[in-house]
C-alpha cells in the first residue's frame, strides 16, 4: 500500500478534493458580501448617508464592478429605493446571505464527511482484503486482537483527516499569507519582525513536536499490545483459571497500563510545553510592535494609522496559524497511525488476487490425481518436516496416512489440502501446480477437515452451508424485496470505494456444489442426510425441540406437535415407558410439579404475561383462605424453610455448595431465619402478613420426590387439586389472560416443542427416565418427519437456526468436530482430505464414523479420492492403501490388508534409508 498518507488520500479522493476546493472558493463570495453588508446597512439607511434630502432614493442591487483596463461594466442598473424600503431590502439581502452561507457550509461539510467516510471504507476493505490474501506464514506472528483493533479503531480518524488534508492548509495558509503581505505593505521592517517571529514558530515548534511523534508511536504500540493481551485473556480464560494465573495476568496488565500511563503523561507534558512556547511567541510579537512600532511612530517614520493597521492585521494572523499548527499535529498523528497500520499489513508473498477470482473456471487438465512430487518442507527455522515425499491419490481411491506423532503425517494432510506451500518439489492436481490454481478451483476440488476446527459465530445453518457459499445467485431470480434504487445506491457506493460489488443478501449457496447423490432432493434433504452420516441429526433435533415457536405463525408444526403428543401418550403404557411421564391431568396432583404449578395448572400465556400477577392478586389469597389451604401452606413453607436452613445454614461461606439451593437465593437465608423466629407452626392467623406471604410463596416451590422432606401428604394433595379447580372456576377474566391452562388439545405457546410433546413432567424417580423419554420422543419425531417432508424441513430449519455462539462455544467439542465434517461432506469435491478431524473421540465412535463417511462417499456416482490422516493406525484397514511416515519420510506404502509393506511401491516413492 502507498506509504505516504497524502499521496494515498490524493490518489483516491482527488476529484472530490478539487470539487470541494472549488465550492469553498465560490462560497467565499457570499461570505465576504455578508461581512461587507452590515457596514452598508449602518452607513446608508440607518445613518442616512445619501439620504440628506427627504424623498431621495438610492440604487439597490446595482451590479457594476469596475475592472482594471476595462472600466466599469454595468450588469444590472439596480432599483431606486427610498430610505425605509432600502433598509428592508438590505436586511432581507442580509438574511438571504445568511441562509446561503449556511447552505454552503452544510453542503461542504456533507461533501467532506462523505469523502472521509468513503476513504475510510476503502481503506478498511483493503486491509481486510489483505488479511484474506496473507500468505499462511504471516499468521504465525499475527494476533487477531491487534489486527482487528487496527482495522476498527486505529484507522478510524483517517476519514476525518482525509477531508481536511488539502482544503485546510490551502485556506488557512492563504489567510495567513494575506495578513502577512498586508503587514509588509504597511511597513517593511515591521513585516520583517512579524516574519521572523512566525518563522521561529515554524522552525522550533515542529522540532519539539518530533518527540511527541515518537511518544505517540510508542503509545499506539503499547495500546495495541494491550488490546492483543486482553483478547488473549478472553480467549484463554480457561487456561488462566486452571493454571491459577489470574494474578499473573493482573500483574502483566498492571505493568502495561503503567507503561501506557507514563507515556501518556510524557505526552501531556510535552504537548502543553509546546503549546506554552507557541502562545508565548505569538504574544511577544505585539510587544515588539508596540515598542518598536511606537518608537518609529514617535520618530515620525510610521504614522499612527499604519501602526493600527499592522496590529489589526497581526490579530488576523494567530487564528489561521493556530489552526494550521493543529492541522499539522493532526497530520503527524495521522501519518504515524497510517504508517503503523500499513506496516502491519505489509507482507511478502501476498496471494495474487486472481487466485480469489469469483469467476475462475475449473481447467480441464486438473482432473488427474492429487500428487506430491519429490516434495520437501521445512519449518521457519529450516528444520525439515517432510523430506523427498512422493505420494498420490487418484479419484475413487482411499488412502490412510499413519505414523508416530511428529513424524509428518498431519503435515501431509495440510500439504494435500494446499494449506502449506512446499519448500521444494510440487504438489499437483492433474497437470497443474496446486499453488497456482485459483482457490475457486482448489476449494471445489478438495474438501478438507482438519484438527483445528473453525466455526463461525452464527447458526448451525450458516456453518453447514459455509462450503457452498461460493458466489451469489442472479439478483433477478432472487425476488429481492429491496427497492431497486436502494440496491443501485448500495452497489454504486461499493464501486466508488473500490469494494467488490458482492451482494451479501443474495442467495450465495451454490446448489450445484451439493453432493450429487443428494442434489436433486433439495438442500434441506441433503443436510438431513449429511447430518445422519456424521451422527449429528439427533443433536440438531434436540436443538429444535428445545425451542419455542409462535403457534400462530406455524400452524402445521403445531398440529404435528399435538399429533406427536397423543402418539407419545398412547405409548406411555408400554413397558419401558410406564410411569416415566406424569401427564398433566386436571383431576390429579402431579407429583413432579411444584405446588405452585399444581395449583395454577398452567403456564404464562404470553410473552409479557406473568404468573406473579395472579399470585399477588387478592383473589388468589381469598381462594387459599376459602379452601383452607392457607394455614396448611404456611406450615409447609415454614417447615420447608426450617429444613433448608438446617441444610444450608452452615454453608454460607461455601458458594460452590450453595448452588444446590435453587428455590431461594443465599441472601434470603438469614431473612427466613428471622421469619422462623417470629412465627410458629400452626400460627398462620397470628403471623405478620409479610411473613405469611413469604412462607406461602416459598411453599409454592416444593416438590416432594425431589426434596424428600416429607412435607406433603395425600390429604394436602387433594386439597391442592380442589384449590386448583376453584381457582379455575372463579378466576377473574383479567387474570385469566395471564395463564394458559394445561389443555391436552392445546399447544402451549410459551413452552418448548419438547414440553409440548411431553405435556407432563418427567418422573425422575424412575431410573434413566429422561434418557428413555428423550429416545422415544426422538423416534416419534423421526417417524413423523419421515412421513411428512414439510414437517421435517420445519423442524430441521428450527434446529439449524440454533445459535452456536462465538466459534461454536455453545457446542461440545465432539459436536463441533462433527459439524465441521458435515460441512465438508455436504459439498461435492473430487478429493477429501481428513486430517485427524476426530482427535480425542472415543476409538469406537471414531471407527464407526470413519466407516459411515467412507461408505457415504463411496456411494457417490463418481467416488472421490480420500486421504485420511489417522492418529490411530489400527483403523487403517478401512482404506484401500496406507502410507506410513516417520521423521518426515515416507517409510512404508502398501495396499492395506496385504501383509507386505513394500508391495505396490512402483507407484510410490521407494523407501529411502
Partner 1 sequence: MLLEDEVALLRKLPLLSRVDPARLKLLCFASGRESFAPGEILFREGEPSSGAYVILSGSVDVFRSEADRHTVKTGSEVEVAIVGQSSMLNDTPRHATVTALSDVEVLRINSSCFMQLMTSCCKSSEGVIRSLGAQLGKNPGQQ
**Contacts to partner 1 by CB under 8 A:** 643, 646-648, 650-651, 654, 656-657, 660, 705-710, 764-769, 844
In the complex, least distance from residue 639 CB atom to partner 1, rounded to whole angstroms: 12
d(CA 667, CA 647): 15
Nearer to partner 1, 740 or 769 (CB): 769
Residue found under cell 417447615: 639
In the complex with partner 1, the residue whose CB is nearer, 241 or 765, is 765
Closest CB to partner 1 among 299 and 575? 575
Task: Give the shortest CB-708-to-partner 1 separation in angstroms.
Answer: 4
CB 643 → partner 1: shortest distance, Å? 8
- 370: phi then psi, degrees, rounded to nearest 5: -95, 120
User: Cβ of residue 655: shortest distance to partner 1, in angstroms?
Assistant: 10
Choice between 464 and 711, CB closer to partner 1: 711
Please state, in angstroms and rounded to a whole number, the distance separating the CA atoms of residues 804 and 811.
Answer: 6
Q: Of 550 and 770, which has the nearer Cβ to partner 1?
A: 770
Q: How far is the CB of 705 from partner 1 (least distance, A)?
A: 7
Nearer to partner 1, 710 or 861 (CB): 710
Q: Smallest gap, in angstroms, from Cβ of residue 652 to partner 1?
A: 12
Gap between the Cα atoms of 711 and 308, Å rounded: 100
Element containing residue 737 per DSSP (H, E): none
Beta-bridge mates of residue 424: 376
Buried b (16+ CB within 10 A) or exposed e, 605-636: beeebebeebbebeebbebbeebebbbbbbbb
Q: How far is the CB of 654 from partner 1 (least distance, A)?
A: 5
Rounded (5°) CA angle 571-576-578: 60
- Minimum distance of partner 1 from residue 714's CB (angstroms): 16
Is residue 159 within a helix (H) or strand (E), and if so which, with residue range? helix 157-164
Q: Which is nearer to partner 1, 508 or 707 (CB)?
A: 707
Q: Which is nearer to partner 1, 54 or 710 (CB)?
A: 710
Candidates 762, 752, 759; CA nearest to 799 is: 752
Residue 546 vs 706, nearer CB to partner 1: 706
Which residue has 431410573 as its cell numbers? 767
Helix/strand/coil for 729: helix
Question: What residues contact residue 876 under an 8 Å CB cut-off, 6+ apart?
Answer: 400, 402, 870, 882, 896
Minimum CB distance to partner 1 smaller for 152 or for 768: 768
Q: Which is nearer to partner 1, 258 or 579 (CB)?
A: 579
Question: What is the nearest approach in angstroms of partner 1 to the Cβ of residue 810?
Answer: 20
Closer residue to partner 1 (CB): 95 or 657: 657
Helix (H) or strand (E) holding 602: strand 602-604
Which is closer to partner 1, CB of 765 or CB of 848? 765
Parallel, antiparallel, or unpaired: how do β-strands 79-81 and 58-60 relate?
Answer: antiparallel
- Strand extents, DSSP E, 47-203: 58-60, 66-67, 71-72, 79-81
Q: Which residues contact 326 (CB under 8 A, 6 or more apart)?
A: none
Round to whole Å and give the CA distance between 438 and 359.
10
Q: Which is nearer to partner 1, 482 or 646 (CB)?
A: 646
Measured at the CA of 277, the angle between CA 276 and CA 280, to 5 degrees, comes to: 85
Find cell 420447608 and name the residue. 640
Closest approach of partner 1 to the CB of residue 653, in Å: 9
Distance CA 253, CA 186 (A): 61
In the complex, what is the shortest distance from the CB of residue 777 to partner 1, in angstroms, rounded to a whole number?
A: 19
For 341-375, give the DSSP string: HHHHT--TTPPPGGGG-TTPPPPGGG-S-EEEEEE
Neighbouring C-beta atoms of residue 863, cutoff 10 Å: 15
Distance of CA 851 to the CA centre of its chain: 38
Nearer to partner 1, 494 or 651 (CB): 651
Q: Name the CA radius of gyration of the chain, rounded.
A: 41
Which residue matches cell numbers 434418557? Answer: 771
* 3-state DSSP assignment of residue 861: coil
Distance CA 473, CA 462 (A): 17
DSSP code for 911: P
Q: Give the nearest distance from C-beta 775 to partner 1 in angstroms.
A: 13
Residue number with CB closer to partner 1 (125 or 709): 709
Q: How many residues does the chain have?
A: 913
CA-angle at 40, arms to 37 and 43, nearest 5° = 150
- Measured from the CB atom, the residue of 661 and 719 that comes closer to partner 1 is 661
Alpha helices (H) along 446-483: 460-464, 475-478
User: Please, how many CA atoms are within 13 Å of residue 234, restricted to the half-sphere of its CB?
Assistant: 11
Dist. CA 287–CA 292, nearest whole Å: 8
- Give the nearest distance from C-beta 621 to partner 1 in angstroms: 30
What are the C-alpha distances in Å from 736 to residues 595, 614, 619, 720, 739? 19, 8, 12, 19, 5
Cell of 886: 516417520
Strand partners, 459: 803
Beta carbon nearer to partner 1, 704 or 884:
704
Amino acid at each position: 500500500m502507498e506509504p505516504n498518507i497524502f499521496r494515498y488520500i490524493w490518489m483516491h479522493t482527488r476529484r472530490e478534493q478539487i470539487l470541494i476546493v472549488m465550492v469553498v472558493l465560490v462560497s467565499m463570495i457570499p461570505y465576504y458580501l455578508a461581512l461587507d453588508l452590515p457596514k452598508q446597512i449602518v452607513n446608508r439607511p440607518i445613518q442616512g448617508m445619501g439620504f440628506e434630502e427627504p424623498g431621495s432614493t438610492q440604487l439597490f442591487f446595482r451590479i457594476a464592478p469596475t475592472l482594471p483596463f476595462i472600466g466599469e461594466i454595468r450588469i444590472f442598473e439596480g432599483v431606486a429605493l427610498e430610505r425605509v424600503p432600502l433598509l428592508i431590502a438590505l436586511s432581507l439581502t442580509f438574511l438571504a446571505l445568511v441562509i446561503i452561507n449556511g447552505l454552503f457550509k452544510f453542503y461542504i461539510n456533507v461533501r467532506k464527511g462523505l469523502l472521509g467516510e468513503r476513504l475510510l471504507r476503502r481503506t478498511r476493505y483493503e486491509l481486510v482484503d489483505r488479511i484474506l490474501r496473507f500468505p499462511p506464514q504471516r499468521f504465525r506472528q499475527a494476533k487477531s486482537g491487534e489486527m482487528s483493533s487496527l482495522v476498527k479503531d486505529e484507522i478510524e480518524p483517517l476519514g476525518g483527516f482525509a477531508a481536511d488534508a488539502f482544503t485546510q492548509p490551502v485556506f488557512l495558509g492563504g489567510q495567513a499569507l494575506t495578513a502577512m503581505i498586508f503587514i509588509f505593505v504597511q511597513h517593511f521592517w515591521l513585516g520583517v519582525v512579524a516574519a521572523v517571529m512566525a518563522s521561529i514558530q515554524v522552525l522550533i515548534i515542529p522540532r519539539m513536536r518530533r518527540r511527541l511523534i515518537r511518544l505517540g508511536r510508542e503509545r499506539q504500540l503499547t495500546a495495541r499490545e494491550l488490546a492483543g493481551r486482553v483478547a488473549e485473556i478472553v480467549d484463554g480464560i480457561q487456561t488462566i483459571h486452571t493454571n491459577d494465573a489470574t494474578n499473573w495476568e493482573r500483574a502483566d496488565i498492571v505493568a502495561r497500563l503503567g507503561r501506557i500511563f507514563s507515556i501518556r503523561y510524557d505526552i501531556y507534558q510535552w504537548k502543553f510545553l509546546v503549546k506554552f512556547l507557541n502562545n508565548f511567541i505569538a504574544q511577544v510579537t505585539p510587544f515588539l510592535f508596540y515598542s518598536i512600532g511606537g518608537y518609529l511612530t514617535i520618530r515620525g517614520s510610521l504614522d499612527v494609522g499604519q501602526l493600527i493597521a499592522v496590529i489589526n492585521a497581526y490579530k488576523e494572523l494567530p487564528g489561521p496559524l493556530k489552526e494550521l499548527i493543529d492541522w499539522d499535529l493532526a497530520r503527524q498523528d495521522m501519518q504515524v497511525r497510517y504508517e503503523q497500520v500499513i506496516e502491519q499489513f505489509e507482507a511478502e508473498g501476498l496471494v495474487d488476487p486472481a487466485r480469489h477470482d469469483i469467476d475462475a473456471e475449473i481447467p480441464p487438465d486438473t482432473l488427474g490425481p492429487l500428487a506430491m512430487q519429490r516434495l520437501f518442507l521445512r519449518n521457519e527455522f529450516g528444520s525439515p518436516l517432510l523430506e523427498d515425499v512422493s505420494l498420490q491419490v487418484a479419484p475413487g481411491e482411499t488412502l490412510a496416512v499413519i505414523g508416530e506423532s511428529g513424524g509428518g503425517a498431519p503435515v501431509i494432510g495440510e500439504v494435500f489440502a494446499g494449506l502449506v506451500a512446499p519448500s521444494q518439489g510440487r504438489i499437483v492436481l492433474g497437470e497443474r501446480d496446486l499453488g497456482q490454481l485459483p482457490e475457486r478451483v482448489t476449494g471445489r476440488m478438495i474438501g478438507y477437515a482438519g484438527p483445528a476446527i473453525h466455526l463461525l459465530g452464527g447458526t448451525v445453518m450458516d456453518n453447514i452451508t459455509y462450503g457452498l457459499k461460493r458466489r451469489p445467485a442472479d439478483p433477478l431470480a432472487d425476488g429481492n424485496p429491496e427497492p431497486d434504487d436502494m440496491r443501485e445506491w448500495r452497489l454504486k457506493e461499493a464501486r466508488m470505494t473500490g469494494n467488490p460489488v458482492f451482494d451479501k443478501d443474495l442467495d450465495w449457496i451454490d446448489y450445484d456444489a451439493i453432493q450429487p447423490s443428494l442434489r436433486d432432493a433439495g438442500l434441506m434433504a441433503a443436510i438431513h442426510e449429511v447430518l445422519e452420516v456424521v451422527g449429528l441429526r439427533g443433536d440438531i433435533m434436540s436443538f429444535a425441540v428445545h425451542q419455542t415457536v409462535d403457534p400462530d405463525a406455524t400452524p402445521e408444526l403445531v398440529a404435528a406437535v399435538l399429533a406427536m403428543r397423543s402418539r407419545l401418550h398412547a405409548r406411555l403404557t408400554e413397558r419401558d415407558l410406564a410411569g416415566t411421564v406424569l401427564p398433566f391431568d386436571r383431576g390429579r396432583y402431579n407429583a413432579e410439579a411444584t405446588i405452585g404449578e399444581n395449583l395454577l395448572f398452567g403456564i404464562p400465556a404470553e410473552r409479557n404475561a406473568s404468573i406473579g400477577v395472579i399470585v399477588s392478586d387478592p383473589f388468589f389469597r381469598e381462594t387459599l383462605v376459602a379452601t383452607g389451604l392457607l394455614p396448611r401452606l404456611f406450615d409447609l413453607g415454614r417447615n420447608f424453610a426450617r429444613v433448608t436452613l438446617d441444610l444450608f445454614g452452615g454453608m454460607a461461606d461455601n458458594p460452590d455448595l450453595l448452588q444446590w439451593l435453587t428455590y431461594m437465593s443465599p441472601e434470603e437465608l438469614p431473612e427466613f431465619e428471622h421469619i422462623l423466629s417470629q412465627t410458629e407452626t400452626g400460627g398462620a392467623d397470628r403471623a405478620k402478613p409479610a411473613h405469611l406471604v413469604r412462607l406461602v410463596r416459598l411453599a409454592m416451590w416444593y416438590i416432594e420426590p425431589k426434596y424428600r422432606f416429607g412435607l406433603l401428604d395425600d390429604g394436602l394433595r387433594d386439597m391442592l387439586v380442589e384449590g386448583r379447580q376453584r381457582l379455575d372456576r372463579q378466576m377473574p377474566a383479567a387474570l385469566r389472560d395471564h395463564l394458559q391452562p394445561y389443555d391436552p388439545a392445546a399447544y402451549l405457546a410459551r413452552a418448548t416443542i419438547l414440553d409440548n410433546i411431553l405435556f407432563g413432567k418427567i418422573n425422575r424417580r424412575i431410573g434413566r427416565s429422561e434418557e428413555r423419554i428423550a429416545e422415544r420422543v426422538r423416534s416419534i419425531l423421526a417417524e413423523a418427519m419421515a412421513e411428512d417432508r414439510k414437517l421435517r424441513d420445519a423442524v430441521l430449519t428450527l434446529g439449524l437456526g440454533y445459535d452456536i455462539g462465538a466459534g461454536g462455544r455453545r457446542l461440545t467439542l465432539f459436536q463441533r468436530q462433527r459439524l465441521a465434517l458435515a460441512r465438508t461432506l455436504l459439498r461435492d469435491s473430487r478429493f477429501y482430505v481428513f486430517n485427524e478431524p476426530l482427535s480425542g473421540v472415543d476409538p469406537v465412535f471414531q471407527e464407526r464414523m470413519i466407516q459411515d463417511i467412507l461408505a457415504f462417499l463411496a456411494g457417490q456416482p463418481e467416488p472421490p479420492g480420500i486421504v485420511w490422516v489417522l492418529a490411530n493406525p489400527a483403523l487403517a484397514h478401512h482404506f484401500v492403501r496406507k502410507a506410513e511416515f516417520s521423521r518426515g519420510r515416507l517409510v512404508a506404502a502398501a495396499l492395506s490388508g496385504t501383509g507386505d509393506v513394500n508391495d505396490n511401491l512402483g507407484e510410490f516413492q521407494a523407501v529411502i534409508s
